[in-house]
Amino acid sequence: MLSELLLTEMGRLSQQDNMPLHRQLYEAMRRAILDGKLCAGDRLPSSRELTQDLKLSRNTVVAALNQLGVEGYLASRVGSGTYVSDNVPKAHVRAAHGRAPAGQARLSKRGTALSTTFCATQLEVQPFTPGPADFSAFPVALWQRLQNKHWRMTYPEMLDYSYTGGHAPLRRAVADYLRVFRSVPLDVDQVIITSGTQQSLELCAQLLGDHGDTVWLEDPAYWGAIKAFMATGLKPHPVRVDEHGMAPCPADEKHPPRLVYTTPSHQYPTGAVMSLPRRQQLLALAAKHNAWILEDDYDSEFRFSGPPLSSLAGLDQDQRVLYMGSFSKVLYPGLKLGYLVVPKRLVDAFKQAHYDLNRPGQMPLQAALAEFIELGHFASSLRRARHSYAERRQCLLAALQPCLGRHAQISGAEQGLHLCLRLPAAVDDKALALRIGTLGMTVRALSAYCLERTDAKGLVIGYGYAPLADIAHYGPLLAKAINAELARLP
């Protein structure tokens, strides 16, 4: 009966929300209509009957019915009674054979793809050891003092949007840092502060590519770049990665790019370093096809062996490289501040679009970070973090040593906070990653990052933010699980 349905729903609402009785009745009837339990054309009992059945005052019932009538859910017919309106959206009303399935409220094709493929929850590199991540290398107390200082002295303009590309002292600090340590030739005006690499990628895709344009992506690829280009309607074209980085061939040029996304200093996820001849080739191809190169320099601060690597942007004579980086790896992931360096001819357009599309802010946070850098805390924090992560890296390498040989090699261990254990093509690396997961450890299958190729197999293993003691304990367990898999090979 209707009264039982309404009383049940009102009882549930009274437990969840402290709303008056007439509002509870209104909400219960509205939901019954939208869920199809009351259909278009159904006649309702009179207000007097509802008052008796529900044991409510007549004023309460009339107030609820009047509100439903005003909003178009009910219609009164003189001399006949009150009915569920014929104008209730059909999508909300049950079909003749029963209630409409929830799946009818479906996503767009793009929304479905974005929510079901290359998902961060399955691909984001995490510390392989169980338990909470270790951020002890970051000076939390100092950082809190700086943030509190700038909140106390904040001027009104610091609480507004930023239409200049970011806090000027932070942009200047970024420019000085990139000129000295990454050999990026730039002026302060070319630096735009973003909420991280993901926003930088989306901005580049929105301003430099049209729907259906081709973007070259490394294969295996960074999942975040795939998502950014999918969301903006670009057409991905995979380009194989070898030990020298992205390796375009004549067949790739049959799909001329509008954008080229690359991680030349430490390819994500294989760790390959792009050679100088390959960098020169990529710049020449960009000029030939009038394309833009998006250089993601996501972890160059953590280089543990070999000489420092210059940026691809440092070789660019034609102003075709847009360079991006983030503070999340150096400081802490939740900081959500990054930077994008654009060619001079694009500065005005990018600043305007960034302001219009993203309404950037967080000025007190940007001011705190600028002072953190200017006072030398960034450099000292980076030194401590580099030393700490170098120890963790060495501990993991030692633990994996029994796995190495004819069937397994390590790539990408010279830099960054993860390494890649390359395995033979015959290994089911996804199944192996799942088995390791049952032991409480988190590793990623290299093949899961692939767009097209089927021969890239291995495990992507993160050691950043993993406590050193945990690496020492779980590293041998990881090696044992890997060796058990390798023992099955001929």
pLDDT tens per residue, range 397-408: 999 999 998 899
- With a cut of 70, say whether residue 433 has pLDDT above it: yes
Tell me the average pLDDT across 346-360.
93
**pLDDT cut 90: percent of the chain above it:** 58
Per-residue pLDDT band at 331 (split at 50, 70, 90): confident
Domain identity same for 159 and 298: yes
- With a cut of 50, say whether residue 92 has pLDDT above it: no
Q: Which of 311, 346, 379 is the last residue of a domain?
A: 379
- Specify if 117 maps to a domain: no
Number of domains in the chain: 3
Domain identity same for 188 and 333: yes
Beta-carbon contacts of residue 391 (< 8 Å; ≥ 6 apart) = 468
Cα 265 to Cα 300: distance, rounded to the nearest angstrom? 7
Tell me the average pLDDT across 116-122.
88
Domain identity same for 307 and 450: no
Entry pTM? 0.78
- Specify if 119 maps to a domain: no
Domain identity same for 237 and 144: yes
Question: Are 260 and 292 within 8 A, CB to CB?
Answer: yes
**pLDDT at residue number 340:** 98
User: What is the distance, to the nearest Å, from the Cα of residue 135 to the centroid of all Cα atoms in its chain?
Assistant: 20
362 or 87, higher pLDDT: 362
Domain identity same for 388 and 329: no
Q: Which of 326, 354, 379 is the last residue of a domain?
A: 379
Per-residue pLDDT band at 156 (split at 50, 70, 90): confident
Domain identity same for 61 and 164: no
**pLDDT cut 70: percent of the chain above it:** 95
Measured distance between the N- and C-terminal CA atoms of the chain, rounded to whole angstroms: 70
- With a cut of 90, say whether residue 136 has pLDDT above it: no
Cis, peptide link before residue 269, omega less than 30° from 0: yes
Q: Which of 379, 411, 441 is the last residue of a domain?
A: 379
Domain identity same for 57 and 175: no
Domain identity same for 245 and 147: yes
- Specify if 43 maps to a domain: yes
Cα 327 to Cα 193: distance, rounded to the nearest angstrom? 11
- With a cut of 60, say whether residue 101 has pLDDT above it: no
Per-residue pLDDT band at 15 (split at 50, 70, 90): low
Cα 328 to Cα 337: distance, rounded to the nearest angstrom? 7
Cα 179 to Cα 183: distance, rounded to the nearest angstrom? 5
- With a cut of 90, say whether residue 292 has pLDDT above it: yes
Domain identity same for 279 and 156: yes
Assigned token pair, 420: 């890649």
What CATH number does residue 89 fall under? 1.10.10.10
**pLDDT at residue number 16:** 61
- Specify if 124 maps to a domain: no
Cis, peptide link before residue 220, omega less than 30° from 0: yes
Map the chain to HEC letters: CHHHHHHHHHHHHHHHCCCCHHHHHHHHHHHHHHCCCCCCCCECCCHHHHHHHHCCCHHHHHHHHHHHHHCCCEEEECCCEEEECCCCCHHHCCECCECCCHHHCCCCHHHHHHHHCCCHHHHCCCECCCCCCCCCCCCHHHHHHHHHHHHHCCCHHHHCCCCCCCCHHHHHHHHHHHHHHCCCCCCHHHEEEECCHHHHHHHHHHHHCCCCCEEEEEECCCHHHHHHHHHCCCEEEEEEEECCEECCCCCHHHCCCCEEEECCCCCCCCCCCCCHHHHHHHHHHHHHCCCEEEEECCCCCCECCCCCCCCCHHHCCCCCEEEEEECCCCCCHHHCCEEEECCHHHHHHHHHHHHHHHCCCCHHHHHHHHHHHHCCHHHHHHHHHHHHHHHHHHHHHHHHHHHCCCCCEEECCCECCEEEEEECCCCCHHHHHHHHHCCCCCCEEHHHHCCCCCCCEEEEEECCCCCHHHHHHHHHHHHHHHHHHHCCCC
Domain identity same for 283 and 366: yes
- Specify if 121 maps to a domain: no
**pLDDT at residue number 36:** 83
Mean pLDDT over each residue of the chain, to the nearest integer: 89
- With a cut of 90, say whether residue 206 has pLDDT above it: yes
Cα 484 to Cα 477: distance, rounded to the nearest angstrom? 11
- Angle formed at CA 100 by CA 99 and CA 103, multiple of 5 degrees: 135
**pLDDT at residue number 161:** 76
- With a cut of 60, say whether residue 350 has pLDDT above it: yes
The whole domain housing 436 covers: 380-486
Beta-carbon contacts of residue 326 (< 8 Å; ≥ 6 apart) = 196, 197, 298, 337, 338, 339
Per-residue pLDDT band at 204 (split at 50, 70, 90): very high
Domain identity same for 72 and 210: no
- With a cut of 90, say whether residue 67 has pLDDT above it: no
Residues across the chain: 490
Cα 367 to Cα 170: distance, rounded to the nearest angstrom? 7
- Specify if 126 maps to a domain: no
Question: Are 281 and 246 within 8 A, CB to CB?
Answer: no
* Pick from 27-31, 83-87, 142-146, 468-472: least confident: 83-87
**pLDDT at residue number 109:** 87
- Specify if 127 maps to a domain: no
Per-residue pLDDT band at 196 (split at 50, 70, 90): very high
Instruction: Please tell me which of 19-23, 65-69, 266-270, 403-407 the model is most confident about, judged by mean pLDDT.
Output: 266-270
Tell me the average pLDDT across 2-27.
78
* Pick from 93-107, 334-348, 375-389, 390-404: least confident: 93-107
- With a cut of 70, say whether residue 98 has pLDDT above it: no
What CATH number does residue 166 fall under? 3.40.640.10
- What would the pLDDT profile of 221-276 be if each residue is shown by its tens digit? 999 999 999 999 999 999 999 999 999 999 999 999 999 999 999 999 999 999 99
- Angle formed at CA 278 by CA 253 and CA 393, multiple of 5 degrees: 125
Sheet holding 409-411, edge to edge: 409-411, 418-423, 457-462, 444-445
Q: How far is CA 269 from CA 70, 391, 396, 457, in A?
A: 58, 21, 17, 12
Per-residue pLDDT band at 6 (split at 50, 70, 90): confident
- Specify if 125 maps to a domain: no
Looking up tokens 């209707």 gives 2
Looking up tokens 């044991």 gives 55
Domain identity same for 328 and 241: yes
**pLDDT at residue number 100:** 42
- With a cut of 90, say whether residue 333 has pLDDT above it: no
- With a cut of 60, say whether residue 97 has pLDDT above it: no
Cα 293 to Cα 413: distance, rounded to the nearest angstrom? 25
What CATH number does residue 460 fall under? 3.90.1150.10
